[in-house]
Structure 1
């Protein structure tokens, strides 16, 4: 639970931000023009909003992780592009890196950016694909110096068009091995080109674009040197830690904002719409959709608190799994909630706010937020790939090598569950026991999979299996946390969360049962034959737009050279 004094600080800061954005930002205009109001970024920087967690001596606000999350979520309730600007600076900008950079030239560079309220960016994704384990951008040591020449191209860089300094991940060949290092580069350096803005289906107005580096000279003092991870990884260790927590600001905070907005829109519409003389809110399916959406909004907020408050309170917990899992949990649940809002509001959902305004309907921006929200399932790693990574890098790591308590996992019967002091209703106590049993079953399942595949590479290649495992783990996490929070609130005299936890856990149990059935299903059909035929262009011509087979890739290549 957030400390009461910290709550008051967050209330004050979000109140100030709310007043500013109400005065300065028309979100529909931002979406239509694909541009933030003139001078807004300068004002946000001058107010220290790009350095929310930095020391006050540098012009920051020394906010907690959770209050930073609250600030981004408050901004998203007004305008998603503004929220993403706040998130990118506070999650991966100069202020964020100050927490991991030692004294020296690099810290001085970043400190100057923060002190002046200037803007920064983080460049990692490349045209060849963000999921590659190595980086095609290279940094080559200049012989006889400590400097490097940086060459490469980066895409999808938040704040690239407006940043003064950018962090760039690059491959360095040193001591006979390739390593990923992070370099900090001024965007006005010779050889740096800031390209056109990317245009997306949503988040219009968020400054995002590509950068190119051609023989850009970077002083060695502006390279972040970290402990050798022993192998080439997608990000450096410091960046990995920042990204894990940063996804909470970049993904979960806007997701929570949209979920809260959606349940409010659904309530307002259901209260004013009457069908066949009966209020919409009295229909069974409408009530179910409202209840599911409220319970899932509660779950998103609960998981966000768990991922951030322990760090604020120095509880010394490893939250990397939860922070990665909640990226998907928050974005997928918020998507479901917004989809329900779209369906419930029907034409008033699919219709743009501007069109509604012209005919006198309440200009609720469901359409705009749904476009913005789709980005959250992609940004920071597309949803299915995040689950694949979690399954491979997190879950399976506990079973290779085999754990010491392996035989215990294989024994039948539930282990003891101490519920002393638990303040849960009978239904929620049943959910708790069920979750504990399924957690034990999950360990059993993972162990059996590992034993059937002593060569881990065989199991790593079964990506659908890993995705299903991550889905089960995510659902068990959501159940555990919503029940824990409901219990804590009831212990303090507030029982309002009990029905929300019950609704969420009932649906989660159904989802877990479905995931487990899919995990245990008989051998899969021959997907390789189908996809190979389709990719070669040799089969399924009836599925093409004109109903004829496509030439193979080799044929197309030959034609293109004629």
Structure 2
């Protein structure tokens, strides 16, 4: 297997016009022993969820069962990656992903809670904490499965770099005093420990962002009524208020680089590594689960169903829907395997993990939309309506709502595309790490293990990669100041999506080449054919001048109600 510790990032190479098949040739696979451990954990998690959560009841009441946390702690589901020496399951990242997928196939809200605790919770920062009181407290909380999460978003909006919540040292210099409000905080109703962001007031660090681990039982913390979302009914998410909350000075998490609001402090390497890995659990895993559920619903719907004397599954458009959904499911699997099974330093796949949020959630949305259309041809009813007619429910309405939530969780999809493009696609060009002149791909050897059709798809990926690099070079030259390109969100969003499409197509081909499965070869062919169409549209957006003035003018008129 390729040692990615000494290899260049696959995504970076694709963005720079240097597609490297050598990075894909030994696509990561889970070893047998780890897979068996994961199988047992998935079995236990599924049994616990089936016993605990009555999905129709959760949908009706919009809340999880009373005292739902304890049974999941007893099953060590809030200790998926906690070492066995501390009482956890000690699962690998990919097995933790698999368990969260399995839980989400039964019910997404508890899966999200577990995913947020696993990925964004205090224990995710343990490798970064020096010896001392804070590390000791987080270690103890991890061993006790104290639920945790990230309290960052504020009423002014998550995209703002500055935080209106403030933190000032008291006169004795022993505690930071926190004041402010947070909204949309996952796990807030059940958390015992939260990582809180706040703007430092006073002293040499005045105006910079500070990060604090805050026990939720401190005086002055108020948890508001849970937010009621369109989907994810019952998910533990609520606003928080801090009124003169005294946090021990040692509970401030200080990283190497000062967190200045003049720059995007959340992209500081150590913070970003935690954040993008966490979204593999909180977004990619539930998205894959919903995609799998749609395939199950489709199979059941098409079984023995006939139209004009022919099996419905024999019609070409129905076959196209089924095939596209299967191909999209493979794409989600390929992304997860690459991001969580690649050997070496996990930071090496940081860029791919950043892209994975939108790849997996938007892919899930495509699958759900196709499945909705398929069932709607028969009459799209709620489960309640089907039950009243004596028919079994299928849960598609719930899946549709939950899938839509995943597209905005962790950032609205179009803004994530913009954010990703400015940091990952265009960032290296502005930072001078990409040559000003077109480069030559470092390899010419053809890929092995691909069907003839998929060899053609890889050739197209290579051609589009070279074109994309040249287009990025042109756009940066036309916008020498980074801030000017940042204002052209039509271009940045299209670039972010094009880059993600390149990555997903490459990963699908990589998995197909390693697998001896005909199904994977066919799925890669179907996926890359559809991705090619999407990239053609995105290339048009990146190549043709947009009349942004007309859009701005019409927007002003529309907003004025004229």
**What is the TM-score with the length of structure 1 in the denominator?**
0.90
Does structure 1 residue 186 correspond to structure 2 residue 215? yes
CA 1:315–1:184 in 2, change beyond 3 Å: closer, same or farther? closer
Q: CA deviation at 1:362?
A: 2.4
Map 1:446-465; keep pairs closer than 5 Å.
446-465=472-491
Map 1:327-346; keep pairs closer than 5 Å.
327-346=357-376
CA 1:366–1:316 in 2, change beyond 3 Å: closer, same or farther? closer
Deviations 1:70-100 (A, max 9, x none): 1110000000111111111101123323233
CA distance in 1, matches of 2:80, 2:238: 24
The aligned length equals 529
What residue number does 2:334 align with?
302
What residue number does 1:406 align with?
436
What residue number does 2:520 align with?
497
Residue pair 1:180, 1:235 contacting (<8 A) in 2 also: no
Does structure 1 residue 134 correspond to structure 2 residue 162? yes
Residue pair 1:46, 1:116 contacting (<8 A) in 2 also: no
What residue number does 1:152 align with?
180
Residue pair 1:349, 1:365 contacting (<8 A) in 2 also: no
Q: CA deviation at 1:425?
A: 0.7
Does structure 1 residue 418 correspond to structure 2 residue 438? no
Does structure 1 residue 39 correspond to structure 2 residue 103? no
What residue number does 2:256 align with?
227
CA distance in 2, matches of 1:107, 1:415: 45
Residue pair 2:210, 2:259 contacting (<8 A) in 1 also: no
Q: CA deviation at 1:355?
A: 2.3
Deviations 1:506-552 (A, max 9, x none): 111111111001111234251222223334x2xx53xxxxxxxxxxx
Unmatched 5+ stretches in structure 2: 1-28
CA distance in 1, matches of 2:377, 2:33: 44
Residue pair 1:391, 1:470 contacting (<8 A) in 2 also: yes
CA distance in 1, matches of 2:123, 2:83: 9
Residue pair 2:42, 2:99 contacting (<8 A) in 1 also: yes
CA distance in 1, matches of 2:205, 2:142: 37
SS of 1:399's equivalent in the other structure is: helix
Q: CA deviation at 1:40?
A: 2.3
What residue number does 1:486 align with?
512
Map 1:506-517; keep pairs closer than 5 Å.
506-517=529-540
CA distance in 2, matches of 1:450, 1:71: 43
SS of 2:244's equivalent in the other structure is: strand
CA distance in 2, matches of 1:63, 1:392: 34
What residue number does 2:304 align with?
272
Q: CA deviation at 1:55?
A: 1.5
Residue pair 2:227, 2:237 contacting (<8 A) in 1 also: yes
CA 1:43–1:523 in 2, change beyond 3 Å: closer, same or farther? closer
What residue number does 1:18 align with?
46
CA distance in 2, matches of 1:183, 1:236: 18
CA distance in 1, matches of 2:404, 2:46: 24
Q: Could you say which structure has the greater relative contact order, defined with CA pairs below 8 angstroms and 6 or more residues apart?
A: 2
Residue pair 1:349, 1:364 contacting (<8 A) in 2 also: no
What residue number does 2:541 align with?
518
Q: CA deviation at 1:387?
A: 0.4
SS of 1:319's equivalent in the other structure is: helix
CA 1:240–1:405 in 2, change beyond 3 Å: closer, same or farther? closer
What residue number does 1:198 align with?
227
Q: CA deviation at 1:416?
A: 4.9
What residue number does 1:247 align with?
279
CA 1:184–1:400 in 2, change beyond 3 Å: closer, same or farther? same
Q: CA deviation at 1:253?
A: 0.2
Q: CA deviation at 1:403?
A: 4.8
SS of 1:103's equivalent in the other structure is: coil
Q: CA deviation at 1:220?
A: 0.7
Does structure 1 residue 53 correspond to structure 2 residue 77? no
CA distance in 2, matches of 1:253, 1:457: 34
What residue number does 2:418 align with?
388
CA 1:435–1:367 in 2, change beyond 3 Å: closer, same or farther? same
CA 1:181–1:281 in 2, change beyond 3 Å: closer, same or farther? same
Q: Which of structures 1 and 2 has the bigger CA Rg? A: 1
Which of structure 1's runs of 4+ aligned residues deviate more than 6 A?
A: none
Bigger shift: 89-98 or 229-238? Answer: 229-238
CA distance in 1, matches of 2:265, 2:155: 14
Q: CA deviation at 1:350?
A: 3.6
**What is the TM-score with the length of structure 2 in the denominator?**
0.90
Bigger shift: 9-18 or 35-44? Answer: 35-44
Does structure 1 residue 377 correspond to structure 2 residue 407? yes
Deviations 1:246-288 (A, max 9, x none): 1111101000001011012112211232222221101111110
SS of 1:318's equivalent in the other structure is: helix
CA RMSD between the two structures: 1.8
Deviations 1:403-460 (A, max 9, x none): 5633234x8xx8753225x111111000001101111111111111111122222111
CA 1:443–1:229 in 2, change beyond 3 Å: closer, same or farther? farther
Deviations 1:386-408 (A, max 9, x none): 00001111111121144563323
CA distance in 1, matches of 2:370, 2:66: 35
